Chain A
Amino acid sequence: MTQIHRSSRGGRIDRSRELSFTFNGKRYTGYAGDTLASALLANGVDIVNRSFKYSRPRGIVAAGPEEPNAVVQLGASEAAQVPNVRATQQALYEGLVARSTNGWPNVQRDMMGMIGKLGGSFMPPGFYYKTFMAPASMWMTYEKYIRKSAGLGRSPLESDPDIYDHLNQHCDVLVIGGGAAGLAAARIAADSGARVMLCDEQEELGGSLLDSREALDGLPAPEWVSQVVTELSARENVELLPRTTANGYHDHNFVTLHERRTEHLWDTAPAVNRRPQARSRLHRVRARHVILATGTHERPLVYGNNDVPGNMVAGAVSTYIRRFGVVPGHKLVLSVSNDYAYRTALDWHESGREVVAIVDARATSRGELAEQARALGIRIINQSAVIEAKGSDRVTAARIARIDLDAFCVLGHEKTLSCDTIASSGGYSPVIHLSSHTGTRPVWRDDVLGFVPGDVKGMTSVGGVHGVFALKAVLEHAAEGARRALDAIGFESDSSAPKLPDVAERREEPACALFQVPHVKSAMRAPKQFVDLQNDVTAAGIELATREGFESIEHVKRYTALGFGTDQGKLGNINGMAVAARCLKRSIPEVGTTVFRPNYTPVTFGAIVGRHCRDLFDPERYTALHAWHVEHGAEFEDVGQWKRPWYFPRTVNGKKETMHEAVSRESLAVREKVGILDASTLGKIDIQGPDAREFLGRVYTNKWAKLAPGRVRYGLMCKDDGMLMDDGTTSCLAENHFLMTTTTGGAAGVMEWLELWHQTEWPELEVYFTSVTDHWATMTVTGPEARKLMSEVTDIDLSPDQFKFMDWREGNVAGIPARVFRISFTGELAYEINVQANYAMPVWKTLFEKGEKYGLTPYGTETMHVLRAEKGLIIAGQDTDGSVTPEDLGMQWAVGYDKPFAWIGKRALTRPDTARTDRKQFVGLKPRDPEVVLEEGAQIVFDPEQSIPMTMVGHVTSSYYSPNLGHGFALAVIKGGRDRLGQTVYLPMKDGVVHEAEIVSPVFIDPKGERQNV
């Protein structure tokens, strides 16, 4: 197929480099410098998509990020699929493959189109709410149907082969937008010595200057641009970022820039010197000042059938002609409300194609561009507008009429002009999206006929985005804005040398306020007048919404879907508000403004994630003994960021043990011989200072005044609401020196908790906290044979009267200086050996050398859980949940009611709610059926016969099978449980089975604690 709409010369494309590409399975050619959109237009491809709701054929209407229709699915291979790419922003490369995202089986012959035509009137705004309300169970079915017919692309099914980078950047001035205003401001900022970043979303810098008819310093605008860009790129204090979209403007001048580095080359990032390169970079910029120079989006007019391919925004037509050498039709009708849009007729005429007429809604047009058009013999029809387009797959004619703007009616003088393109311009909407991200409300200006950014601290808006449109004024405004910005952050601008180029002043007449064009029929009966092309929102739909009582634009928006989706109302928002305002007989600012949220354009997940995926998704923490565990086939469990051995399955007769088998073997070994656990992950906090003991007394519920050096005590830590927060042992190392242990997961939280109370409540106490979790490796040797094994490796006196339960001693273990603690989390005789972490491995290996004859068995966290649960020892965070007091746990023995200071949590224990006797209390459960292992979290009831919803009286907190007991057992909290020992409770399960269990003491083994005390 030939490029039928390509002009013979002109444009910023390289005609010597022909590129071939595929769209919807058909091959086409374009040139280097094309966007996918300009290449499609050059090839005369009118229909690029089907519309969202009505499935009407749609063509390209714009040339930038505001394009609502040409949203494509990109990528030649499955892994490289990218949805939601706007063809207007995608540079063409050799071999590009793209598809329409909507339309089934294809855009030319669309099944849904039939339904759309028939069903259109049955799909009013609020359609989903009204139609799919009931029955709720059917929603899943409806959703499937809606999604199939309405998607905007799909995600890839294969893993992304590319890498993405995040860069943290700081600068003095961040200029967003590289058009006339941005370049002028960047130049002045660069001269001051400030560190400047300039980003622009297009393939090259220059913005609207790239298709401007105007001259700067006597040079065609694009040439002036390349001069300035050359000049700026030579400066060391300037970083230029083309192909970079500022997508989010967050708190305190934090702006995220998405730089596409390879997306103009191929659908995956090509390697450089055989090394992968980042497909894109996300710059996380903290700017001292932001200069917003994002310009404007031209507004199309809203008239009947304004969605038929061939209807375009006027400025986009000029862009395609001047930048890409593409004239997207043969006969043009131009419908305008302002002077500047006349340039499109001049550009079209100069390309040698016919301008049928310019239809101007104003009574007169005497501006400079209008006079030029008149001089070329172009027919100008005043006080009129295109009221309707004719044609189905492409415009065939424009129906024009004289209109009365104030009365919003057609005055007659109807004509039908034959044409294939209708370009329209209803004015220019400042691109205020970024300033809105900050939460600042934009301000309506009647002279601009648009919203401009409200005040944002640390931001200056210049040029088009501030409602300054004429080139000379834009440059002056940008220069002035840049100087103010520099002044605000303490840089001096060189005011003596204003480097502004000479630009001719242009005589213009004011624009008129035209948004929706009246039709001879009412909006409800006229051909569809589209406001939001991407979401198929029509003027009639908005009218209906206002009649149904939606008064705020925020409600209208949600009801009609105006401004939804990837488009975010770039073209349609103001027109939609204008329609709502007219219907409600208010002004546009009175109906409000919609808030734009990040991101400005869609960003791929890869760019957001950066390198934080796969192995780098979250840090993994390993103990000093990790390599040994891996070598010995441990299965691992995640505890916080730690990898802990879960169990150590053995292979017996070529068969690997199941977890159940391994845990049975491990726990029997501990109860009958000796086991060893890597407990290095326990949180450890070193506490020193003359007031350390006093401090412990305040943060723990129990007493610390008399704990002597060499002794260890178990402590409970509550919040001030009296609820258990964490537990652990604390050892007195010396009079003013303690070592606190915490749960593995609670370590960081407890550390911050201690600092919080010390720094904010009791700064007068002299006490210091240091986290030493990683400094010490902890090995728990436990079981009846533990003493025999220890005696072979240590010089510490292990005799029971010298080294008692809850003592700790210093000495050598396997020749390494160690602290050994006689504490037990299994109920057996136990020694916790602490050595400096980097010496842990030789100690561990020596223990196994000597321990073989005693049957030393490594065990993991699962066995640890079973063993501690058999003893009724709690795990804070598993058996407690922030609503359990020490008294609920039956741990009054660990509460110092008579301590002199009102320690944390004490006062709350006497609150009426915490003193209730029917609170949920910690008990054991013994299932009637010994084979049953109850489900953790299962709800408990007293009466299984009651009707649903049943009265739930508690739940299972921990549950295991005990090889030592020979049956399943559980820990639970039950209302008034301690007074109900021996009673039967019931656990109704989801599958209808009701388990029966007896309430028993939570201590299942060795209730007197004799085994750990030997």
Chain B
Amino acid sequence: MFHIYCPYCEEYREEEEFHPRGQAHLQRPADPENCSDEQWGDYLFFRDNPRGIHHELWVHSVGCRKFFNITRHTANYEILETYKMGERPSITAETLAADERQSGVQTASGGWQTVGARPEDEALNTEARA
């Protein structure tokens, strides 16, 4: 069960108080009447499903009822940041990768099995990461 910091209440609360609402930062086309069916379909139906950093919209449904964003790692469920509506995340997949390269840390191995991976798979993994 997640422990979530509500940026409005400024407190950590249990996941039971919250409700996830899917991918964050979805842009509703500014002029729906004049966008193509494809653009509208993308907005309506298509979502990212990354292994790694994911920005998500959550609502503190039985708390302050405010919507806010969570930056979460989908492989280890770590919540890296929560921020208010209208704000931009300070941690993204790009900044994280850059930080890790700088500090010499191996970039998040994603979901690949590192223990017990066979050598040929390991090569594949490296390729997939690169």
Interface set of A (CB-CB < 8 Å, partner B): 250-254, 286, 438-444, 454, 457, 553, 589-593, 720-721, 752, 755-756, 759-761, 763, 902, 906-908, 911-912
Q: A residues within 8 A CB of B65?
A: 752, 755
Decide if B77 touches A439 in the complex (CB within 8 Å).
yes
Q: A720-B44, A912-B37 are in contact. Are A756 and B59 (CB under 8 A)?
A: yes
Could you tell me the distance between the alpha carbons of A85 and B11 in the complex, rounded to whole angstroms? 41
Question: B residues within 8 A CB of A763?
Answer: 85-86
Q: Apart from A250-B1, A253-B3, A907-B35, what 8 extra A-B contacts exist at CB < 8 Å?
A: A251-B77, A720-B43, A721-B45, A760-B67, A902-B32, A906-B33, A908-B44, A911-B37
CB distance from A855 to the nearest CB of B (A): 45
A454 to B115, CA, bound (A): 10
Contact between chains at A252 and B1 (CB < 8 Å)? yes
Query: Which residues of A are found within 8 Å of B78, using beta-carbon distances?
Result: 457
Q: Is B104 an interface residue (CB 8 A)?
A: no
A763, B84: Cα distance in complex, Å: 12
A-B CB contact pairs (8 Å), 5 listed: A251-B77, A755-B65, A906-B32, A907-B35, A911-B40
A441 near B114: Cβ-Cβ < 8 Å: yes
Complex Cα gap A756–B68 (Å)? 10
* Separation of A912 and B1 alpha carbons in the complex (Å): 42
A720 → chain B, closest Cβ, in Å? 6
Also in contact, A593 and B67, with CB within 8 A (given A252-B1, A763-B85, A902-B32): no
Kindly name the residue among B3, B57, B65, B116 whose own CB sees the greatest number of chain A CB atoms within 10 A: B116
How would residues 44 to 74 of chain B score, 1 for a CB under 8 Å from any chain A CB and 0 otherwise? Answer: 1100000000000101010001110000000
Cα distance A440–B115 in the bound complex, in angstroms = 10
- The A-contacting residues of B in range 14-47, CB under 8 angstroms, are 14, 19, 21, 28-29, 31-33, 35, 37, 40-41, 43-45
Rounded to whole Å, the gap between the CB of A903 and the closest CB of chain B is 9
A250 CA to B65 CA, complexed, in Å: 26
Count A/B pairs, Cβ under 8 Å: 82
| A756→B21 contact, CB < 8 A | yes
Residues from chain A with a CB closer than 8 A to the CB of B35 are 907
Closest 5 CB pairs of A and B: A592-B116, A907-B32, A252-B3, A902-B32, A759-B67
Nearest A residue (CB) for B31: A902
Contact of A589 among B1, B28, B115 (CB under 8 A): B115
- In the complex, chain B residues whose CB is within 8 Å of the CB of A253: 3
Q: Are A441 and B115 in contact (CB under 8 A)?
A: yes
- Contacting A721 at CB < 8 Å: which of B28, B44, B59, B61? B44
Instruction: Decide: B2 and A252 in contact? CB cutoff 8 A.
Output: yes
**What residues of chain B lie closer than 8 Å to A756, measured between beta carbons?**
21, 59, 67
Name B4's closest neighbour in chain A (CB-CB). Answer: A252
Name the residue of chain B whose CB is nearest to the CB of A444. Answer: B115
- Complex Cα distance, B77 from A440, in Å, reads 11
User: Are the C-beta atoms of B115 and A591 separated by less than 8 Å?
Assistant: no
Inter-chain contacts of B21 with A (CB < 8 A): 756
A591 and B116 contact, CB distance less than 8 A: yes
B118 interface residue per 8 A CB criterion? yes
- Do A759 and B85 touch across chains, with their CB atoms under 8 A apart? yes
Tell me, in angstroms, the Cα distance from A286 to B5 when the chains sit together.
14
Please report the C-alpha to C-alpha distance between residue A760 and residue B3 in the assembled complex, in whole angstroms: 23
B115 and A755 within 8 A (CB): no
Residues facing A in B78-97 (CB within 8 A) are 78-79, 85-86
B76 within 8 A of A: yes
Once bound together, how far apart are the Cα atoms of A250 and B67, in whole Å?
25
Contact of A590 among B45, B79, B116 (CB under 8 A): B116
In the assembled complex, B113 has its CB within 8 A of some CB on chain A? yes
Q: Is the CB of A759 within 8 A of B66?
A: yes
Query: Given the complex, which residues of B lie within 8 Å of A251, measured CB to CB?
Result: 1-3, 77
**Cβ–Cβ < 8 Å partners of A907 in chain B:** 29, 32-33, 35, 40
A720 and B1 within 8 A (CB): no
Give the docked Cα–Cα distance between A592 and B117 (Å).
7
Q: In the docked arrangement, what's the CA distance between A759 and B41, Å? A: 23
Q: Shortest distance in angstroms between B114's beta carbon and chain A's nearest beta carbon?
A: 7
A254 to B13: give the CA distance in the assembly, Å.
12
Residues of A near B40 (CB, < 8 A) are: 907-908, 911
* Chain A hits for B85, CB < 8 A: 759-760, 763
Chain A residues within 8 Å of B118, by CB: 590
Contacts of B33 in A (CB 8 A): 902, 906-907
Least distance between A578 CB and chain B CB atoms (Å): 13
Contact A592:B31 (CB < 8 A) given known A252-B2, A759-B85, A763-B85:
no
A911 to B21, CA, bound (A): 25
Residues B37 and A720 in contact, CB atoms below 8 Å apart:
no
Instruction: Find out whether the CB atom of A760 lies under 8 angstroms from the CB atom of B61.
Output: no
**Please, how many angstroms separate the alpha-carbon atoms of A908 and B43 in the complex?**
11
| Cα-based distance from A764 to B94 in the complex (angstroms) | 31
Q: Give the docked Cα–Cα distance between A752 and B57 (Å).
A: 13
Q: A748's closest neighbor in chain B, by CB?
A: B61
A-facing residues in B88-130 (Cβ within 8 Å): 113-116, 118
A721: nearest chain-B partner, CB-CB: B44
Contacts A759-B66, A760-B67, A911-B37 given: A442-B115 contact, CB under 8 Å? yes
Write the chain B residue with the least CB distance to A761: B28
Contact status B28-A720, CB under 8 Å: yes
B41 touches A911 (CB 8 A): yes
Residues of B close to A760: CB separation below 8 A: 57, 67, 85
A851 to chain B minimum Cβ distance, whole angstroms, is 40
Closest chain A CB from B119 CB (angstroms): 9
- In the complex with contacts A252-B79, A755-B67, A756-B67, A593-B115 CB distance below 8 A: yes
- Residue B113 contacts which of A252, A592, A721 (CB distance < 8 angstroms)? A592
For A444, list chain B residues within 8 Å (CB): 115-116
Closest to B119 in A: A590
Residues on A with beta carbons closer than 8 Å to the beta carbon of B28: 720, 761
- Report the bound CA distance from A908 to B28 in whole Å: 13
Q: How far is the CA of A444 from the CA of B114 in the complex (A)?
A: 11
A455 CB to nearest chain B CB (Å): 10
- Chain A positions within 8 Å of B76 at CB level: 438-440, 457
Q: Which residues of B contact A906 (CB under 8 A)?
A: 32-33
Q: Which residues of chain B are near A902, meaning CB under 8 Å?
A: 31-33
Known: A760-B85, A902-B33. A752 touches B61 (CB 8 A): yes
Contact in complex: A752, B59 (CB < 8 Å): yes
Query: From A443, which residue of chain B is reached at the shortest CB distance?
Result: B115
Chain B nearest Cβ from A577, distance in angstroms: 9
